[in-house]
Amino acid sequence: MKLLKHIRFLPGSGILKGMLVTARNLIGSYYDPRRLRTVRYPEERLPLPENSRSVPFLVYDGDDAETGLRCVACHICETECPARAIHIVNACDKRGKVLKRPHRFEIDISACMGCQICSEVCPFDAIMMDNAYNHAAFERFDSLTLTRERLAKPNAYFHRIKPTEAAEIDSRLAADRSRMEERRRKKEAANATHNESAR
Amino acid sequence: MRLVEPEGFGANGVGGGDGDERLLELSMGPQHPSTHGVFRMNVVLDGETVVRLQPVFGYLHRNHEKIAESQSYLASIPYTDRLDYFCSLSNNWAYVRAVETLAGIPVPERAEYIRVILAELTRLQNHTVFLGFLLGDMGGWGTALMYAFRQREEILDLFEALTGSRMMCNYMRFGGCRCELPSGWMEQARAVVAGYPAFLDEMEQLLVENEILVARTQGVGVVSAEKAVNAGLTGPILRAAGVDYDIRKVDRYGIYDRFSYRVPLGEHGDTYDRMMIRLLEMRESLKILQQAMADLPEGPILHSDVQVRNLCPPEGEAYCRVEAPKGELGFYLISDNTARPYRYRIRPPSLINLTLLEEMSLGMKIADVMVILGSIDIVLGEVDR
Amino acid sequence: MISAEQIREHVLHARPDAGLELISNLCPSCQDSLLVAAEDAVEVARLLRDDPELRLDYCSNVTGVDWPERPVRTPPGSAPAGQRMRAEVAARPGCFEVVYHLFSMSLKHGPVVLRMRTENRSDRVRLPSLTPIWHSAEFQEREVFDLYGIRFDGHPDLRRLLMWEEFEGHPMRKDYLPPAEDDVREPFAAARNRMVQ
Ligand code: SF4
Ligand code: SF4
């Protein structure tokens, strides 16, 4: 019989060996954190790693969520979102000219799968991944549709949840800005000399 | 549940016998603790013995292929996470490799190493959970499963620190990986790998000689090598039948030819061998991990001139496969030189490994069916797609 | 690895009258395929499996492809390099295709890509089943039948695999229109329904 082959010592020794393991784990769970990895959840929470992601939010610079929004409503995230969870409507001025900022920006977090493709494709670093995970609501539609007001969060918040990434993006944006500034100044200077020589 | 007349099954070669005999037709699932998701089996029983078994699929079908054909190549990566949700990184790799083959995209060396590291970590945690669930299917709810989940948590922590998500990693991109390793990640990963053998020793001590487990698994669900090959079984359950076929060795994809590791093979093709194969495979994975972590080169992580967004591969088709923890995971893509795949097909190992489920189960007791199903190791997200 | 051209010659050597056509694939993957005539398919498949030099004992992937009738954009022959596939397909009336990816576990080579085409997309959609040769095709052919509506003659158990029995239509066909999602809130509904079409 095949069974006999595996019984080395006496019948039941395999089970006894297994019991030894459970005993070790039982006792170990009192002092070894590797053997007891859980915490009592709602009161105690494990720190989230910096990369941790849940749903996206919109970053704004300064303190005004209206004007500081980095988003220019280019609709790239809307087209790339695999779940089609983003809906954007551009703002218009009085004469109906389309402006480069969102009038409505909505994310349906009941469909959003937190894949962060939107923040990856956004060329303006305007949409970032949040790590807040408590989104439970009593109603499926409006409470789970994050509007622009609920999505907009200050850059300081971004710095708080993801310091490394935020610092990186800030320095990149600052470098971009200074390069633009440089270029503008050069152009102005060139224009000035041009005008001078023309005169 | 209903009693059926044996005559009703006479036509199918089942039943028969004298009028006293009654067969019981039992529908197991889709809500059943041991079907690993929403999977149903129509079982016909003679007493407790299985005389016929028909798997019923589709409860988790969402037509992933159709969705993928309606959107860009990039947007399908997060969907592949949700195929076999235990092994999202292997799925990512299979898909991006298919696109890379289709479009001829080179991958930087560092990215290749990171991919190997992540794929082997995925294999480790998949097999770990497998062991826990197998015990659960035998009625040993709790103990082994909890140990397995506790250990797996260490690997999931690594995944979360790197990719931002424990299970839906969405990490690989055409021509490399999405982001650089965070600082301290490598040290943490080394510590996890270093601590793993102790866990495996403990698991072995718990399982390998346990008389109950041996009695429940040896000689249960035997499948011969020949049948396994013909039925397209892949992965550990093929190797448990003694067929030496590991795609990492055969295709030498990525940089697997740089590492030294062995492919464990079984002899009997039964459930016990399938379990042991996985235990041994984890040890081999640890070897690969140690080598890959030691050699990890510096360099870019994403090929610089690949267009990840709006990728339009040239016209043509490619079939590309990897050795996922559950077997051969293949992606077949046809491009018509637009930004969307013309045809996007997944070859799911879990579905095809079920081909022989009926054959393995015939003549076994109903309680063994759960063990056999557990030993095949399916995930319904991948079976039904 | 043996090329598709060599395999074609090998098969034609054994069975000179088999309808076997090479379809080249010019993209970087270079996976050429063999188009086999439906009436010879079972014979050719058996030969591929049992031939001592090929021993393609493992059929990995079976899938359908839908090629609807398309206006001929590039006349065949004048297509520039790299465009052969489209020209060739566009010149055809619509058809369904079944693609088999074969490997050899004993000789460790592959993939060999085998294709079959139906005569049209409406009524002549029968193809021989290769499940008797490779058992692994069983569920996958059922899936192709389910999602594309290709009927496999000789399949032991041809039923729907993923959709339910009463379902009408074949969702993977390019012209299949899914019912609109009805419980999605308005601004998203349009986008999501557009997506599935
Ligand atoms: S979030 Fe970024 S990608 Fe989306 S619309 Fe605004 S600027 Fe464009
Ligand atoms: S995280 Fe993914 S699913 Fe969610 S809004 Fe962004 S792109 Fe869409």
Helix then strand count (H, E) for chain C reads 5, 7
The enclosing H or E element of B331 equals strand B327-335
Q: Which atom of ligand 2 is nearest to the CA of A116?
A: 1
A157 lines ligand 1 (CB under 6 A): no
B206-228 pLDDT, tens digit each: 888 788 888 888 888 888 888 88
Per-residue pLDDT, averaged over C29-37, amounts to: 82
Q: Give the residue ranges of DSSP H helices in B36-184.
A: 64-69, 77-81, 88-103, 109-137, 143-163
A11-54 pLDDT, tens digit each: 777 788 888 888 888 888 888 888 888 888 888 888 888 888 88
Contact C27 B318 (CB under 8 A): yes
Contact A14 B150 (CB under 8 A): no
Q: Which residue has the higher pLDDT, C92 or A44?
A: A44
Which structure tokens are listed for B291? 């080598």
Q: Report if residue B1 sits inside a domain.
A: no
A76 lines ligand 2 (CB under 6 A): no
User: Which residue's alpha carbon is at the smallest distance from atom 2 of ligand 1?
Assistant: A122
Task: Name C123's Cβ contacts closer than 8 Å, sequence gap at least 6.
Answer: none
A117 lines ligand 1 (CB under 6 A): no
SS3 A113: coil
Contact C185 A141 (CB under 8 A): yes
Contact A87 C188 (CB under 8 A): yes
Average pLDDT, chain A: 83
Candidate of A57, A58, A88 to mutate for ligand 1, largest count of ligand atoms within 8 Å of Cβ: A88
In angstroms, the CA C22 to CA C37 distance is: 12
B180 Rama class: left (phi>0) / alpha (psi -120 to 50) / beta: beta
C154 Cα: distance to centroid of ligand 1 (angstroms) = 54
The label of the residue with tokens 């016990």 reads B272
What phi, psi does A105 have (nearest 5°)?
-140, 110
Which structure tokens are listed for C150? 């290709």
In angstroms, the CA B205 to CA A17 distance is: 6
C148 Cα: distance to centroid of ligand 2 (angstroms) = 31
B235 Cα: distance to centroid of ligand 1 (angstroms) = 43
In angstroms, the CA B324 to CA B89 distance is: 9
pLDDT of residue C49 exceeding 50: yes
Task: Name C89's Cβ contacts closer than 8 Å, sequence gap at least 6.
Answer: C67, C70
Task: Name C46's Cβ contacts closer than 8 Å, sequence gap at least 6.
Answer: C133
Nearest to A105 by CA among A93, A89, A124, A120: A89
| Chain A residues near residue C195 by CB distance under 8 angstroms | 84
B24-45 pLDDT, tens digit each: 888 887 877 777 778 888 888 8
Q: Any chain A CB within 8 A of the CB of B150?
A: yes
* Domains of chain C from N-terminus onward: 4-164 (3.30.460.80)
The ipTM is 0.83
SS3 C52: coil
Say which CATH number the domain at B239 has.
Answer: 1.10.645.10
Per-residue pLDDT, averaged over B284-299, amounts to: 89
According to the model, what pLDDT value does residue B93 have? 92
Q: Report if residue B29 sits inside a domain.
A: no
Q: Which atom of ligand 2 is nearest to the CA of A84?
A: 8
CA distances from B17 to B7, B8, B43, C103, C165 (A): 9, 12, 19, 44, 32
CA dihedral sign, ordered B234, C27, C22, C70? positive
Q: Which residue has the higher pLDDT, C147 or C72?
A: C147
pLDDT of residue C87 exceeding 60: no
B349 Cα: distance to centroid of ligand 1 (angstroms) = 38
pLDDT of residue C176 exceeding 50: yes
- The number of folded domains in chain B is 1
Q: Report if residue B12 sits inside a domain.
A: no
Per-residue pLDDT, averaged over C154-181, amounts to: 82
B81 neighbors B170 (Cβ within 8 angstroms): yes
Q: Any chain B CB within 8 A of the CB of C63?
A: yes
Q: Any chain A CB within 8 A of the CB of C187?
A: yes
> From the CB of residue B194, how many other CB atoms can be counted at a distance below 10 Å?
12
Residue of chain A whose Cα is closest to the Cα of C192: A84
Q: C61, exposed or middle or buried, with CB in 10 Å at 0-12, 13-18, 19+?
A: buried
Q: Which residue has the higher pLDDT, C86 or B173?
A: B173
Q: Any chain A CB within 8 A of the CB of B88?
A: no
Which structure tokens are listed for B12? 């199918």
B67-102 pLDDT, tens digit each: 888 888 888 899 998 888 888 999 999 999 999 888
Average pLDDT, chain B: 85
User: Which residue's alpha carbon is at the smallest distance from atom 4 of ligand 2?
Assistant: A112
Nearest to A147 by CA among A107, A102, A103, A99: A107
Q: Report if residue B24 sits inside a domain.
A: no
B150 neighbors A35 (Cβ within 8 angstroms): yes
pLDDT of residue B15 exceeding 50: no
Q: Which residue has the higher pLDDT, A37 or B289?
A: B289
Strands C95-104 and C58-67, by their bridges, are antiparallel
Q: How confident is the model at residue B117 (pLDDT cuts 50, 70, 90)?
A: very high
Q: DSSP letter at B180? A: P
Range of the domain at B133: 64-384
